A and B are shown apart, each in its own frame.
Chain A
Amino acid sequence: MQTIWAETFYLILKSIIDLTIQKNKNMKNLKKMKNLKFLTAALVASSLFIGCSKDDDPQPVNEEEIITTMTVTLEPADGSADVILEFSDLDGDGPNEPEITDGLLAAGATYSGSIVLLNEAEEEAENITEEVEEENLEHQFFYTVGSGLDVTTSGENLDDEGNILGTMFTLTTGTVSSGELTFTLVHEPTKPNDGLESAGGEEDISVTFNVSVE
Chain B
Amino acid sequence: MRNHALLVLLFSSITSLSQDCNNSLSGKVTDIHDGQLLTGVTLIVAETDQAVQTNLDGTYSFSNLCNATYYIQVSHPYCLTKGFTVKVSGDTNKSFKLEHHIEELNQITIDGKAYSDKSKTLLENSINQEYLERYSSGSLGDALKSLSGVSSLNTGNTVVKPMINGLHSSRVVIINNGVRMEDQDWGAEHAPNIDINSVSNLTVVKGAGALQYSGDAVGGVIVAESSKVPVKDSLYGKSLMTATTNGRGSALSSKLTKSYQNGWHATLQGSLKRFGDFKAPNYVLSNTGIFERSASLQVGFNRFDYGFEGYYSIYKNEIGILAASHLGGAQDQTRAIESAIPLTIEDFTYKIDKPKQDVSHHLARLKAFKRFNNFGKLSLQYDFQRNNRLEFDIRRGDDKEKPSVDLELDTHTVLLDLESELKDEMTLKSGLMTRYQNNFAAADTGVRRLIPDYQMYDIGVYFVADYQLSDQLLLEAGARYDYSYMDVFKFYKTSFWESRNYDQLLPEIVLEEFENQILTNPQLNFSNGSATLGANYTFGEDYKLFFNYSIASRAPNPSELFSEGLHHSASRIEIGDLRFNSEISHKVSLTLQGDDDNFSYSITPYINTVSDFIIIEPVEVRQTIRGSFQVWEYRQTDAQLLGVDVDASYAFTNNVRLNSQFSLVKGYDQTLDAPLIGMPPVNISNEIVYQNSEFNNIRLSLQSAYHFKQNDFPNNNFEVYVPQTETYQEVDISSTPNAYHLLNFNSNIDINIKQKSTLTVGLKITNLMNTSYRNYLNRLRHYADDLGRNFLFNIKINY
Contacts and interface: CB of A to CB of B under 8 A. Distances in A.
B635 interface: no
Interface in A158-209: 180, 182, 184, 187-188, 190, 196-198, 200-208
Interface in B711-746: 721, 723-724, 726
A65 B515 contact: no
A115 to B, nearest CB: 12
A205 B625 contact: yes
Given A93-B573, A97-B623, A38 B726 contact: no
Given A64-B446, A91-B516, A50 B397 contact: no
B448 A203 contact: no
B382 A187 contact: no
Interface string A15-37: 01001100100000000001100
Interface string B353-382: 000000000001010100000000000101
Interface stretch (B327-335, B591-599, B683-691): B327-335
Contact of A135 (B326, B397, B452, B514): B397
A49 B412 contact: yes
B307 to A, nearest CB: 10
Contacts of A87: 625
Interface string B627-656: 101000000000000000000000000000
Contacts of B496: 91, 94-95
Contact of B726 (A39, A95, A147): A147
A93 B384 contact: no
A41 B264 contact: no
Which of A93, A128, A190 is most buried by chain B, counting CB atoms within 10 A of its CB?
A: A93
Interface in B442-456: 443, 445-449, 452-453, 455
Contacts of B326: 202
A184 B334 CA distance: 15
B399 interface: yes
Which of A61, A62, A202, A204 is most buried by chain B, counting CB atoms within 10 A of its CB?
A: A202
A108 interface: no
Which of B436, B440, B724 is most buried by chain A, counting CB atoms within 10 A of its CB?
A: B724
A12 B398 CA distance: 42
A20 B491 contact: no
Contact of B396 (A65, A96, A144): A65
Contacts of A128: 396-397
Given A144-B724, A206-B328, A34 B301 contact: yes
A87 B495 CA distance: 18
A203 B626 CA distance: 6
A182 B414 CA distance: 59
B443 A16 contact: no
A121 B308 contact: no
B382 A46 contact: yes
A54 B399 contact: no
Contacts of B394: 187-188, 202
B565 interface: yes
B624 A89 contact: yes
B306 to A, nearest CB: 8
A38 B448 contact: no
A12 B362 CA distance: 15
B626 A95 contact: no
Contacts of A98: 623-625
A20 to B, nearest CB: 7
Nearest to B512: A57
A203 B302 CA distance: 60
A135 B495 contact: no
Interface residues of B, number: 72
Contacts of A57: 489, 511-512, 519
Interface in B21-53: none
A41 B326 CA distance: 48
B495 A96 contact: yes
Contacts of A68: 625
A38 B308 contact: yes
B565 A93 contact: yes
B438 A65 contact: no
A95 B495 contact: yes
A207 to B, nearest CB: 6
Given A12-B366, A45-B382, A132 B396 contact: yes
Contacts of A23: 264
Nearest to B445: A61
A205 B396 CA distance: 13
A79 interface: no
B495 A50 contact: no
Nearest to B338: A197
A146 B396 CA distance: 30
B489 A131 contact: no
B453 A62 contact: no
Interface in A112-168: 121, 123, 128, 131-132, 134-135, 144, 146-147
A205 B626 contact: yes
A80 interface: no
B441 interface: yes
A213 interface: no
A65 B446 contact: yes
A134 B412 contact: no
A3 interface: no
B328 A123 contact: no
Contacts of A184: 331
Contact of A91 (B399, B446, B455, B495): B495
Contacts of B658: none
Contacts of B624: 89, 92-93, 98
A61 B447 contact: yes
B390 to A, nearest CB: 16
Contact of B310 (A16, A61, A92): A16
B16 to A, nearest CB: 39
Contact of A63 (B447, B455, B489): B447
Contact of A180 (B328, B452, B455, B726): B726
B726 A131 contact: no
Interface string B490-523: 0101111001000000000001101111010000
B495 A131 contact: no
Given A38-B368, A61-B446, A91-B495, A131 B396 contact: yes
A87 to B, nearest CB: 6
Interface string B432-476: 000010101101011111001101000000000000000000000
Interface in A58-83: 58-65, 67-70
B324 interface: yes
B256 interface: no
A206 B726 contact: no
A42 B445 contact: no
A203 B329 contact: yes
Nearest to A142: B724
Given A23-B264, A45-B382, A58 B493 contact: no
B344 interface: yes
A92 B326 CA distance: 19
A95 B264 contact: no
Contacts of B491: 58, 60-61
B498 to A, nearest CB: 9
B2 interface: no
A67 B519 contact: no
A90 interface: yes
Contacts of B516: 90-91, 121
B445 A45 contact: no
Contact of A41 (B332, B366, B512): B366
B299 to A, nearest CB: 5
Contacts of A197: 335, 724
Contacts of A9: 312, 364
10 contacts: A39-B368, A49-B410, A57-B512, A60-B443, A70-B625, A87-B625, A91-B496, A96-B495, A98-B625, A196-B724
In order of increasing CB-CB distance, the 4 nearest A-B pairs are A203-B328, A206-B627, A64-B446, A200-B343
Given A46-B382, A93-B566, 11 more contacts: A23-B264, A41-B366, A54-B438, A65-B399, A65-B446, A93-B573, A94-B493, A203-B329, A203-B332, A204-B396, A205-B627
